[in-house]
Structure 1
Amino acid sequence: MAQLSPHVRNVPANQIREITQAAWATPDAVVLSIGEPGFPTPPHILEAARATLDRDETGYTPNAGIAPLRAAFARHAGAASGMDISPERVFITSGAQQGLHLALSLLLDAGDEVLVPNPGYPTFAMTAKLLHAVPVEYPLYPDNGFQPRIEDIEALLTPRTRVLLLNSPSNPLGAVFSRELTRSLVELARRHDLWIVSDECYEAFTFDVPHVSPLTFDGDAGERVITSLTLSKTYGLTGLRIGALVMPAGLEQVASTVMESIVSCVASPSQYAALAALTGPQDYVANASAHYRANRDAACAVLDGKGIPYLTARGAFYLWADMSSVTGGNVRAWTNRFLKEESVAVAPGTAFGSIGEGWIRIALCGDRAELLEGVRRLPLPGHPA
């Protein structure tokens, strides 16, 4: 058989999917390894998708998406950033992951470097590699609350550095950037003429702290920030694959050309469902946020009782817990043993980078009783499962 491209053969396995698929094959397993919202989709969103099919609006849409949805995303991004965002700057994508691929396709050439967080979501580096670019990890250390430090990022810059990828609220950490840190990161990019790609999948879910978008500091027409938004987490629409990029003015034509070569356009029922989500009742978002906060607090209480250290989640719907006293220096292997012995799946911290060794990510988005049952089965510090 002819060989696949080396850059595809060398893409590492996704450890999140590895443990989750093993859990799905385990009878009665408690699955806390994947972030899948569990609430029913609001009826008005489903009706909007059905109505699109009923009127047979199933043809191509513009590459950038239907005009009402672009305008709705522009209003949404403008309200979040305090900026006046033109709908022409909004490009509808097939979920955040395709949006990330599109954004990096516009910015990176073979051999260019993109700065990605460690720990950070694994597809950041995977996408860069698929584009023949080089992911360079900037560290997020426990002793700094897993927040980036400007000096650590500047130390990694080379003449090939093109993009700084940011993620706040963070998956897997639940960390949220302050306004001051966000401003400093945009200023760093401006000093060194870098693009910023800001993954804001979890923008709707912060607890006692605000979400601050880098768009806030990027000027009226945008200068160097591309923001990736999605409705997958906000409204539980993971299967509809709907998101958006907010780009600096002037990139519309090239983005349309690149989009045409990838997927042409997003499915029209998904676009009208998204329009209904953004413009209709917002009860789902408020209820989901309250549920995630309550799940976080309940899970933290169990961890406190066990003496297991963790990072207090200020956003998203994950809890980042330190199990290094029991994992023996190989948290990936430990999570697989834990699943076999206790029928609980958690994501190994190394799925998100080397600094995640000894840590686990616990998804907070599901049923509370199941969540607490899984957390209760975690071994006490110094007592391997």
Structure 2
Amino acid sequence: MPSAPARVANVPVNQIREITQAAWAVPDSIVLSIGEPAFPVARHVLEAGMAALDRDDTNYTPNAGIGPVRAAFASRFASLAGVDEDPSRIFVVAGAQQGLHLALSTLIGEGDEVLVPDPGYPTFTMTVGLLGGRPVPYPLVPDHGFQPRIEDLQGLVTPRTRVLMLNSPSNPLGSVFSHDLTRALVQFAHRNDLWIISDECYEAFTYDVPHVSPARFDAGGPEAVAEATEARVITSLTLSKTYGLTGLRIGALVVPPGMEAVLSNVMEATVSCVSAASQYAGLAALTGPQDYVRTALDHYRANRDEATAVLDRLGIDYLDARGAFYLWADLRHATGGDVRGWTRSFLAGHGVALAPGTAFGSMGEGWVRIALCGRTADLVEGLSRLPAPPRRP
């Protein structure tokens, strides 16, 4: 059999999938390792998708998506991010992951560098490497609340640096960028002639703090920084988490002016277009009743509070989750410098699956990501089995 090229062979294993698939093979295990919303999809969304199939709306759509769906994404972006975008710059994509691949395909060449958060979602690194680029981790450290520092980023920029990846609210951290930090990050990118890809998959889920989109500070945004002489922010949105449509694979890219033609060509060369039925289901989600989103937000907040109460009782430290539906917890007292191996042992011995922090980069050693999106009783029971740290004298 011919060998795979190095850029394919070197794509790392996704440790989230690794532990989750192991958990699915263990009867009665409590799976807290994967971010799968637990609520049934709203009926009006299902009916819109089924209606498209009933009328045999199964043909190709335009590369960038059906006009009403693009307009609905633009309307949501204006409402939540405060940024007005023409629907012609909205590309409907097969979920945020395909959107990430599409955006990076247009921005980087062989050997180009992309600044990725560490800890950060693993497919940031995986996709850059698969496209022949070089992922360059920027550290997010406990002493700084796992927030980016401009001085760290500046020290990593080289002549090959092309893109800064941002993710707020963060998967895996649950952290949320402030207004001032977001503005400073956009200024940094423009000063260094970088593109920004802003992953905003969890923009609907923040707790007592606002979501701030970097596009607000880009050229054409309502608070454009002086450095922004042309738009450089690409925003990635998805309906997977917001409406529980993880399997329908529908999201959107919001792109700067001038990228439309090349993105259409790259879209044609990858998936051509998103399923029409998924697009009509997405349209119903975006434009119909929003009860699902409100119910999910309340559930995730309540689960966060229940989970932190358990960790507080055990004396386990964690990062205060201000967004998304994950809790980032410190198990360094138990993991012995190998959190990946420890999560496998913990699953085998206690029947609970947690995502190892090293799934998200080397800075995650000793930490675990806890998904807050499932049943409250399972969450509380699973976390109650965690080992408490030694008592402090």
Normalised TM-score (structure 2): 0.96
Residue 316 of structure 2 is aligned to residue 280 of structure 1: no
Task: Give the distance between the partners of 1:288 and 1:83, measured in 2 at CA.
Answer: 25
Residue 263 of structure 2 is aligned to residue 255 of structure 1: yes
Gaps of 5+ in 2: 222-229
Asked whether the 8 Å contact 1:321–1:359 carries over to 2, the reply is yes
Asked whether the 8 Å contact 1:88–1:249 carries over to 2, the reply is no
What SS does the aligned partner of 1:116 have? strand
Task: Give the distance between the partners of 2:353 and 2:205, measured in 1 at CA.
Answer: 24
Cα deviation, 1:50-79, whole Å, max 9, x if unaligned, reads: 110111111000000000000000111112
Residue 205 of structure 2 is aligned to residue 197 of structure 1: no
Task: Give the distance between the partners of 1:270 and 1:82, measured in 2 at CA.
Answer: 26
Cα deviation, 1:312-343, whole Å, max 9, x if unaligned, reads: 10000000000001110110111000000000
Matching residue of 1:84: 84
Task: Give the distance between the partners of 1:51 and 1:11, measured in 2 at CA.
Answer: 40
Once the two structures are superposed, the pairs formed by residues 71-220 of structure 1 within 5 Å of their partners are 71-220=71-220
What SS does the aligned partner of 1:155 have? helix
Question: Which piece of structure 1 moves more, 76-85 or 150-159?
Answer: 76-85
- The residue type equivalent to 1:289 in the other structure is L
Once the two structures are superposed, the pairs formed by residues 1-385 of structure 1 within 5 Å of their partners are 1-220=1-220, 223-382=231-390
What SS does the aligned partner of 2:33 have? coil
Cα deviation, 1:83-108, whole Å, max 9, x if unaligned, reads: 22100110000000000000000100
- The residue type equivalent to 2:275 in the other structure is A
Q: How many Å apart are 1:164 and its aligned residue?
A: 0.1
Matching residue of 2:226: none
Task: Give the distance between the partners of 1:287 and 1:224, measured in 2 at CA.
Answer: 35
- The residue type equivalent to 2:257 in the other structure is A
Q: How many Å apart are 1:81 and its aligned residue?
A: 2.4
Asked whether the 8 Å contact 1:182–1:212 carries over to 2, the reply is yes
- The residue type equivalent to 1:358 in the other structure is G
What SS does the aligned partner of 2:4 have? coil
Asked whether the 8 Å contact 2:104–2:128 carries over to 1, the reply is yes
- The residue type equivalent to 1:150 in the other structure is I
Asked whether the 8 Å contact 1:295–1:368 carries over to 2, the reply is yes
Task: Give the distance between the partners of 1:345 and 1:129, measured in 2 at CA.
Answer: 28
- The residue type equivalent to 1:106 in the other structure is T
Task: Give the distance between the partners of 2:31 and 2:86, measured in 1 at CA.
Answer: 41
- The residue type equivalent to 1:59 in the other structure is N
Question: Which piece of structure 1 moves more, 164-173 or 76-85?
Answer: 76-85
- The residue type equivalent to 1:286 in the other structure is R
Asked whether the 8 Å contact 2:81–2:211 carries over to 1, the reply is no
Q: How many Å apart are 1:110 and its aligned residue?
A: 0.5
Task: Give the distance between the partners of 2:259 and 2:334, measured in 1 at CA.
Answer: 50
Cα deviation, 1:167-216, whole Å, max 9, x if unaligned, reads: 00000000000000000000001111100000000000000000000011
Asked whether the 8 Å contact 1:209–1:314 carries over to 2, the reply is yes
- The residue type equivalent to 2:88 in the other structure is E
Q: How many Å apart are 1:14 and its aligned residue?
A: 0.8
